[in-house]
Amino acid sequence: MAGRLRVGVIGCGLIAQVMHLHYLRELADRFEIAAVCDVSDEVRSACAREYGVPEQFASWQELLTRSLDAVLVLTSGSHAPIAVAAAQAGIHALVEKPMCFSVAEGRAMIEAAGAAGTVLMVGYNKRYDPAYARLVEEARTLADLRLVCITTLESPIDPYVQHYNLRRGGPLPKSVAQTLRDDDDARITAALGDADPLSRWAYRSVLLDSLVHEFNAMRGVMGEPDALEFADIRETGLTAIFKYGAAQCILAWVDLPDIARYSMEFAFYSPERRVTLAFPSPFLRSMPTLFISEDGRKMSPRASRTEEVASYQESFKEELVHFHDCVTNGRQPTTSAADAIHDIALCEAVVAVHRGRHPREHPSQPAMATAPTERS
């Protein structure tokens, strides 16, 4: 397959409107937006008009009957049912995070794409940020790595998106909203069993919704952790401690809802050098990620700090370019489903370690679980 891809966009909410539809249009030499799908009549109609899309659907099942090369799955909830059905229809898929709600669902997605020979890529945009590539390069040069700190300060989204012309639909019909909630609940139960309400909330709203990004970026630099030594879930935050050989990786997520100062940092510490990657809000187009390097002279007061802007290229756009390349040239995505299932395993492991208060060896290795695979 070569040239321009006919794509369907399933889910026309916030991330679709802020990033994906915008950059699909910019990349019109590679993509034709052939169809959109959303449960909201108002939202999908507005997006179809804005982007000149000829077909629109309320049901993803109907969209998948059209003549398409690929779909972008941008809905809330698990993406497993749509991804499996897309593969069975011979359609390539880029699914936003989280790819699914359990390791068992992830296995079904991978098996379906493998059987069909289709590309199944997960939308971890940070992995396509040029500054992240700098971090991967420089982290390899650090001798005697002793500590890694991954810190996310969560903040409200609205201040970062108010300047976009967003189309927002009214409340969903009660029956539709309840069906979606019930589906989410069933999938969380399949993943976690009889977990307590706090663990269920953190799994859905913190781990799957946010920290899968951090887990994937962590693994992209450091590989698979030797152990998850500690995990603690609170109503306002989450802390996890991973072991990487002699180094410790401390991950902290905290909700700070009153200050519009989102922050995500990856900091690597060795005796001779420190490097930090500071990500901006993911909703600001082309806002650069800062690469910071600190070093000094042994037994001397001399020390230096540099801040580098690697690029103004937008990671979401680079992600789409990569997806096109994988589909048209038969390449394996950097953020393949086979890679991303390890992040779902980490989400499951964090809840298990929090609840059991026992460390877990090789926490990112997928373990078989049972989960529903159909969505209403």
> Based on the domain organization, do 66 and 142 belong to the same domain?
no
Q: Is there a domain that residue 366 lies in? A: no
Q: Is there a domain that residue 183 lies in? A: yes
> Based on the domain organization, do 182 and 304 belong to the same domain?
yes
Mean pLDDT over residues 125-145, rounded?
Answer: 96
Residue 354 belongs to domain with CATH number:
3.30.360.10
> Based on the domain organization, do 281 and 291 belong to the same domain?
yes
Domain carrying residue 324: 5-125+319-336
Tell me the pLDDT tens digit for each residue of 306-355: 999 999 999 999 999 999 999 999 999 999 999 999 999 999 999 999 99
Beta strand 70-73 with 5-10 is parallel
Structurally, the chain folds into a number of domains equal to 2
Q: Is there a domain that residue 102 lies in? A: yes
pLDDT at position 2? 59
Is residue 75 classed as helix, strand or coil in its secondary structure? Answer: coil
Q: Is there a domain that residue 374 lies in? A: no
Q: Is there a domain that residue 250 lies in? A: yes
The whole-chain average pLDDT of the chain stands at 95
> Based on the domain organization, do 205 and 181 belong to the same domain?
yes
Burial class (CB in 10 A: 0-12, 13-18, 19+), 191: buried
> Based on the domain organization, do 356 and 257 belong to the same domain?
yes
Q: Is there a domain that residue 297 lies in? A: yes
Burial class (CB in 10 A: 0-12, 13-18, 19+), 163: exposed
Q: What's the pLDDT band for 1 if we cut at 50, 70, 90?
A: low
pLDDT at position 170? 86
> Which residues on neighbouring strands pair with residue 192, listed in sequence order?
none
Tell me the pLDDT tens digit for each residue of 165-183: 999 988 888 999 999 999 9
Residue 373: is its pLDDT beyond 60? no
Residue 372: is its pLDDT beyond 60? no
> Based on the domain organization, do 298 and 352 belong to the same domain?
yes
Q: Is there a domain that residue 282 lies in? A: yes
> Based on the domain organization, do 50 and 134 belong to the same domain?
no
> Based on the domain organization, do 179 and 228 belong to the same domain?
yes
Tell me the pLDDT tens digit for each residue of 277-299: 999 999 999 999 999 999 998 88
> Based on the domain organization, do 276 and 330 belong to the same domain?
no
> Based on the domain organization, do 210 and 350 belong to the same domain?
yes
Residue 374: is its pLDDT beyond 80? no
> Based on the domain organization, do 268 and 169 belong to the same domain?
yes
Rounded percentage of the chain residues whose pLDDT exceeds 70: 97
Q: Is there a domain that residue 209 lies in? A: yes
Residue 77: is its pLDDT beyond 70? yes
Q: What's the pLDDT band for 371 if we cut at 50, 70, 90?
A: very low
274 Cβ partners below 8 Å, 6+ apart? Answer: 267, 268, 293, 294, 295
Mean pLDDT over residues 77-85, rounded?
Answer: 97
> Based on the domain organization, do 196 and 281 belong to the same domain?
yes
Residue 61 belongs to domain with CATH number:
3.40.50.720
205 Cβ partners below 8 Å, 6+ apart? Answer: none
pLDDT at position 367? 72
- Order of strands across the sheet that contains 31-37: 55-57, 31-37, 5-10, 70-73, 92-96, 120-123
